[in-house]
Structure 1
């Protein structure tokens, strides 16, 4: 690491430690920047380059992580807001909707008012579980054991209402294995994630069938060239297998890298898509 890079790295590490130690006071940009002897503008840019997100967003991630733990302990929304350093339940509500895509009450209730349809299906790469809400597809996963796959889905929203039924949203998603990939826009998605995760998943959807990208490529597209590791984490959290094509991302060395549903399956999917995109004409 070059001397200036090491200095920058140490400054960002110090800033992260400061945020983690003082998040209950909700320090502003100016306070954190002053702590590492940088102007707010320079600090904002440097932090975003190294951490893959803004200082404010990082503070929000720390805050919501703590708030989740309090809600799991059955703390009231008001007490949770105050303990997290927020001025009231309104700010707690905004934080959850912005980061989690649900209200703190919905999170606390485990998705109590959420209706999820699910079904089991076969694909060229193994059995899959596909689930949807009235807003769109929320979950696709390859599985070996049906009961475990369903338990993993229900763990995300333990109080949601589940019904085993193949609805139109799921049918549209399953058509992707046999129909034109260019019709992907007809499939609606209902995703829950941070702004950064959503941007990464959106970038994955833009990788054409039969093509590959690297973690570094995705980071550059998001104008965060140093965020390859953060990109990899977001890709690993992809809730919709195959449809959001995280299998099309490989390491810069050419190695396939990891895959949540197995490297052998990733290899098979890449080969299958390459053959579909570039058919051999006799």
Structure 2
């Protein structure tokens, strides 16, 4: 395995700006994939520097990453990594699941409190650089209640969108909220969530938390898991209203046909998330395989 440079929190915003441009170029030339030299020239970098930068972000080389961005990747995920939510529930993942090296612990606002639009609630917010660009973090005193990505919408629109979900709450800017995001990108630890939504929405979000990183599910499978198999459209709406994107992984919900479906913060972000997780999951599996082979050779 190639050793990749570590990515620090301060690198994330710069990396995403470069990777977003590279992904656009890869998309535009799907029938004639650009070479490493072509991509590097477009980014005005040397091939060696671009390769190091891209590999640090994606976990794999630019050439390898291209396969995760193809339209066929979603269909391949459904064939090979479609999580059976009933099985996940039976093995004890309901409510507290392990996602990309994070333990998620959550509690939900009562239906009555939700109906009051967040009255009496103080929600603090701040911005961080993440691997998918500018990221809004919102929190109550019980945990993270909002996570939004502004790469496609811009900061003002993302903040207005999230604040409108709890219109009677008191919203306060607070840069220290960014500290809650320290381990969100696979750095380990525990994240506490405060889910603020209608009872049906929370059932859908709970099901989403059972889908491991690098895997996917379908809107229909979620509907079946929550005991309402005909409510596929309503499930899709609830998925789109997920206020804690990434931690409640709505990007892992696909259409039964293999279509990527929609994403509230922009399809380029959803595709990048799926590709990023898929590439890292495969790279980790290969590293584990290499380690196992080495141990066998030494035995």
Q: Same fold (TM over 0.5)?
A: yes
Q: 2: CA distance between counterparts of 1:141 and 1:119?
A: 11
**Helix, strand or coil at the partner of 1:189:** strand
Question: 1:71-126 CA distances to partner (integer Å, 9 max, x unpaired)?
Answer: xxxxxxxxxxxxxxxxxxxxxxxxxx85353464xx4xx63x32221111111111
Change (3 A) 1:254 1:153: closer
Partner of 1:196: 200
Flag the 1:139–1:257 CA change in 2: closer, same or farther, 3 A. same
For the 8 Å contact 1:100–1:192, the answer to whether it is kept is no
Relative contact order, CA 8 A, sep 6+: which one is greater?
A: 2
Q: Residues 158 and 197 from structure 1, CA distance in 2 versus in 1: closer, same or farther, beyond 3 angstroms?
A: closer
Which sections of structure 1, spanning at least 5 residues, go unmatched?
A: 1-96
Query: Match for residue 228 of structure 1?
Result: 232
Pair 188,101 (structure 1): closer, same or farther in 2 beyond 3 Å: farther
Are residues 1:219 and 2:219 paired? no
- Is 1:253 aligned to residue 268 of structure 2? no
Match of 1:127 in 2: 134
- Structure 1 residue 141: deviation in Å? 0.8
Task: Give the distance between the partners of 2:234 and 2:165, measured in 1 at CA.
Answer: 22
Provide Cα deviations, 1:205-259, integer angstroms capped at 9, x if missing partner.
1100000101111112112222211211110111111111000010111111111
- Please list every run of 5 or more consecutive structure 2 residues that lacks an aligned counterpart in the other structure: 1-108, 291-299
Please say if 1:150 is aligned against 2:159. Answer: yes
Q: Which has the higher helix share?
A: 1
Where 2:125 maps in the other structure, the secondary structure is: strand
Q: Provide the C-alpha distance between the structure 1 equivalents of 2:115 and 2:224, rounded to a whole number of angstroms.
A: 32
The structure whose Rg is larger is 1
Change (3 A) 1:202 1:254: same
Q: CA RMSD in A?
A: 2.3
**TM-score (structure 1 length as normaliser):** 0.56
Aligned match of 2:212: 208
Q: Distance in 2 between matches of 1:238 and 1:100?
A: 19
> Is 1:138 matched up with 2:145?
yes
Going from structure 1 to structure 2, the CA distance change for 1:256 and 1:102 (only over 3 Å counts) comes to closer
Give the total of aligned pairs. Answer: 176
TM-score, structure 2 length as denominator?
Answer: 0.53
Higher strand fraction: Structure 1 or Structure 2? Answer: 2
Q: Distance in 2 between the 1:252 and 1:201 partners?
A: 18
